[in-house]
Structure 1
Amino acid sequence: MTSHSTPVATGLVLLFAALSLAGCGGGEGVAEVPLPVLAEQPAAHDDSRVATQGVVRHFDDPLHYWIEDEDLHRVEIFPHERIAPYLGEAVRVQGHFRFSPTEGRRLTLQSVERLGGE
């Protein structure tokens, strides 16, 4: 009985470890959320990993960067120095989204890529 329960317990531990690690990397656990949805329902996506796309814009005083779509739905992007090289370009961003009624919609970058073809 002991020899039979040990492999089962070990198997369960290994299964749990594999499932725990599955959400730690790659594209898993990232929701594709268009900018209009992030703008209109930000609380629904607060504290989650999202991917979205738009054109990088900025303002100098105070310095901040954001992405926006043609209807001016916006999300601020952090850190500024990582998004700044893409100013004026269409990009797809992935990162940690946060919403606060006082600080607005913010995304901390995990990745950014240029979108092709104008």
Structure 2
Amino acid sequence: MAWFVGQSLVVIVLAFILGVAVGRFSARFGNVSTDAHRQADNAPESNGDELQRIEGIDAAVAAALRTAGIRTIAQLADSDDDAMREAMRAAGLGFVPSLSTWSRQARLVADRDAETAAR
């Protein structure tokens, strides 16, 4: 019985340490500043809705992109990752894991919209 309690205690302590480490990591890189949320709440709906067609772009991210001058799907498709990262940093947004796919997604959406308009 003592062996089982000793082993369980080790597992519990390791799980606690892992939980603390994950919590600190997510607190450092996963936070979205309140200023970015306020910008998103006050931003006009029409431009944000278009950018929000891209997976990973919410209202706060769309507001940050608009502030950086990226207002349309076509502009997003032509943007490079460094410009988008700088827009996120300037808005006080944390790590955005899907950022590297936004330009490709936007290009696909823009091409699909052009095909639909041509019909």
TM superposition score category, shorter chain reference: 0.3 to 0.5
The higher relative CO (CA closer than 8 Å, separation ≥ 6) is in 2
Over alpha carbons, which structure has the higher Rg?
A: 2
The structure with the largest strand share of the pair is 1
Q: Which has the higher helix share?
A: 2
TM-score (norm 1): 0.34
